[in-house]
Amino acid sequence: MQPQPLHLPSGNLIADRRFEWARDLGAKGDLAAAADLLVQALELVPGYASAWFALAELREKLGDRAGSVAAFRKAVEADPLDRHGAALHLVRAGAAPAGAMPEGYVRALFDGYAPAFDAALTEGLGYRAPELLLRAVQGAHPHDRFRSALDLGCGTGLGGAAFRPYCDWLAGVDLSPAMLAQARAKVLYDSLIESDVLTFLAAQAATKTKYDLVLAADVFMYLGDLAPVLMAAAEVLVPSAPIAFSVETHGGDDVMLRDTLRYAHGEAHVRSAVAVAGLALVSLDSAATRTEKGVPVPGLVVVASGAN
């Protein structure tokens, strides 16, 4: 599932044309010529973020790590919102520390995905995080109906559709307005809010709003350290209420940024973050919530509960 490559026009017709020619040459395999055209475009418009990002990717393919890192840094400087996600490429190159993904990148990414998101995920990638999370929650709370539930990073509402029959009131929060528009059309949620997860949770805690269930289906792979978001979620859970989430994982203990630009969380990190947040681990199961190129992506399905 790939959105169209992001292009932020330079405002200079000649520079934009050279960018398009460069992209065409790159697609045909003439990487060096494509890089030369991008350099020419940048001579005309030094703050051309899309050209810097494209040049960084080409230099990476050409084996010029130093040149690639320099161009990714220029892309961030040219677009402080970092809608291309250049900062993540710097993390992957070992040139910057891991951290939360740039909001501008996540918003642009999912705004681009939104129109075909459901079909691409369920038909193309065999996505099943909602059903796995529902099964895990029902295993821990077999007879419960939830008075109020919160779907973090709700997207188009795939998680909401699975949990709606078991919730009296359901809220969703997401960064992407285009994804929220898709969710709104399904008439699943009682409330939909455009916000990043941590900001929303802090606002809910400030007003002492509480939920009987917090859900995060394939959302935390866009965060690095899980402790801050789990601590924030713990603040909005009623006593002993569950939080259920899925992550991609790997064989190590810590957090790593995969080539797909999603974080994979080691089991040890997940267990530690749950404990730091003051949550009690109820279940942690290995399960693939999606496939990539026909291969299951290793993952974890987790249920924890708030303090009594």
- Main-chain phi, psi angles of 223, to 5 degrees: -120, 160
Q: Do 13-97 and 112-305 show the same overall fold?
A: no
Assign domain 112-305 one CATH number from 3.40.1160.10, 1.10.3470.10, 3.30.70.2500, 3.40.50.150.
3.40.50.150
Confidence (pLDDT) at 99? 80
Confidence (pLDDT) at 276? 97
pLDDT in tens, the chain (308 residues): 455 678 999 999 999 999 999 999 999 999 999 999 999 999 999 999 999 999 999 999 999 999 999 999 999 999 999 999 999 999 999 998 888 899 999 999 999 888 888 888 887 888 999 999 999 999 988 878 999 999 999 999 999 999 999 999 999 999 999 999 999 999 999 999 999 999 999 999 999 999 999 999 999 999 999 999 999 999 999 999 999 999 999 999 999 999 999 999 999 999 999 999 999 999 999 999 999 888 999 999 999 998 77
Going by their DSSP bridges, the two strands 291-292 and 280-286 should be labelled as unpaired
Say how far apart CA 149 and CA 164 lie, in whole Å: 9
Q: In CATH terms, is domain 13-97 a member of 1.25.40.10?
A: yes
Q: Please give the structure tokens belonging to residue 214.
A: 């917090």
CA 242 to mean position of chain CA atoms: 22
Q: Please give the structure tokens belonging to residue 12.
A: 């200079």
Neighbouring residues of 36: CB distance < 8 A, sequence distance ≥ 6: none
Q: In this structure, how many other beta carbons lie within 10 angstroms of the beta carbon of residue 20?
A: 12
- All structural domains of the chain with their residue ranges: 13-97, 112-305
Q: How far is CA 5 from CA 24, 84, 85, 176, in A?
A: 12, 9, 12, 17
Say how far apart CA 176 and CA 174 lie, in whole Å: 6
Confidence (pLDDT) at 4? 61
Q: Are 132 and 246 in contact (CB under 8 A)?
A: yes
* pTM listed for this prediction: 0.91
3-state secondary structure the chain: CCCCCCCCCCCCHHHHHHHHHHHHHHHCCCHHHHHHHHHHHHHHCCCCHHHHHHHHHHHHHCCCHHHHHHHHHHHHHHCCCCCCCHHHHHHHCCCCCCCCCCHHHHHHHHHHHHHHHHHHHHHHCCCCHHHHHHHHHHHHCCCCCECCEEEECCCCCHHHHHHHHHECCEEEEECCHHHHHHHHHCCCCCEEEECCHHHHHHHHHHCCCCECEEEECCCHHHCCCCHHHHHHHHCCECCCCEEEEEEECCCCCCEEECCCCCEEECHHHHHHHHHHCCCEEEEEEECCCCEECCEECCEEEEEEECCC
CA 145 to mean position of chain CA atoms: 29
